[in-house]
Amino acid sequence: MKKILADRTAQIDASGIRKVFALGASLEDPVNFSIGQPDFDVPEALKEEAIRAIRAGQNSYSQTAGDAVLKRRIAERVSDRFGWEDPAVLVVSGVSGGLLLAFMSLINPGDEVIIPDPYFVMYKHLINLLGGKCVFVDSYPDFELPVDKIAQAITDKTKMIILNAPGNPTGVVYSRQQVKAVAEIAAEHDVLVMTDEIYETFCYDGECPSIAKYYEKSLILQGFSKSHAMTGWRLGYVAAHPCLSHVIEEMTKIQQYTFVCAPTPFQQAAVAALDYDMSDLVDAYRKKRDLLYDGLSDKLEFVKPGGAFYAFIKAPGTTGATEFVERAIANNVLIIPGNVFSEKDTHFRISYATSDEKIRQGVEILRSLA
């Protein structure tokens, strides 16, 4: 039979997260620690904004780069935070869409991308799909930003460094000193930094420093999926200093031939979302974090998450995380093996984006397994 699939399809596998999520559908009322999706709904006021836009007939294409009012508001927000004058902005179909557009615009076959390990699963597969080379720098056991290892990993083929904080899967927040140190390294070698800040709203113990404050050649990816529970609305944005406006222009051009534009009525709701106070829900997630940590930290080894809604926990015993994950699933607890997010198989990820009662149930089961 004649081969019909493109060779690049062999570079990626179906998401391990989705596999576990699908498995959960066959279990009866499981403790679902698998999916990174807030357990609260989109605030009613923001739903009404989207409904209003739909009923007002704002259902056609927006401009490729996004609604003008939304772009202006995002640019003002970025300027206020980082001091950039007239930043370039592109509204995208979720941060995932922004990642694809950025990688397509920047990565040639053979280009190297430095990524702290563990990492968000999508980085590795999209880079491989485009023929790039992932250069993983180990951040075990504490998952702090491995500054020296990043410096040592840079070569003449390095195209970019990726940072993600608060991080998925670890929940770790990098310190200002670490972020500034990487900014100095990137500036010395004239390397672009992509900073994935989708969880920046969920910051529990102080500030969540952004490298964009210290380095102009930073591509910022943020969005509304996690902070406002708009995961199904597919809405995010990419922002850059004017020195990288040409990157945003190329991303916009590729969006024209792929996503076309982000969903128009939801862009209208996003304008209101920028002013909506989510602090009560963030406080609720800080308490979920504490509930999980207080319940498991005496039995299992892990770093207390400083943000996002994940914990990356060392599997007990010596058989590896996958075996422990299988035992947990057999006991009705859905967790994700760490090798989905890492070149190692020593940890597993918990998403505590679920009810307090489910967290308590899951803690008891995991304690018994540990």
Domains and CATH numbers, the chain: 7-42+278-369 (3.90.1150.10), 57-273 (3.40.640.10)
Pairing of strands 347-351, 336-337: antiparallel
DSSP β-bridge partners for residue 220: 195, 239
CA separation, residue 161 to residues 106, 146, 150, 275 (Å): 12, 12, 8, 31
pLDDT for 361 equals 97
Q: Please give the chain's pLDDT, 370 residues, in tens.
A: 788 898 888 888 765 566 666 666 677 889 999 988 999 999 999 999 999 999 999 999 999 999 999 999 999 999 999 999 999 999 999 999 999 999 999 999 999 999 999 999 999 999 999 999 999 999 999 999 999 999 999 999 999 999 999 999 999 999 999 999 999 999 999 999 999 999 999 999 988 999 999 999 999 999 999 999 999 999 999 999 999 999 999 999 999 999 999 999 999 999 999 999 999 999 999 999 999 999 999 999 999 999 999 999 999 987 789 899 989 998 999 999 999 999 999 999 999 999 999 999 999 999 999 8
pLDDT for 25 equals 67
Which DSSP string corresponds to 2-62?
---S-GGGGG----HHHHHHHHHTTSSS-EE------SSPPPHHHHHHHHHHHHTT--S--
Burial 109-147 (b: 16+ CB within 10 A, else e): eebbbbbbbbbbbbbbebbebbebebbbbebeeebebbb
CA separation, residue 277 to residues 24, 41, 201, 266, 369 (Å): 33, 14, 10, 18, 39
Output the pTM of the full model: 0.94
Q: What SS3 state is found at 312?
A: strand
pLDDT for 21 equals 61
pLDDT for 17 equals 62
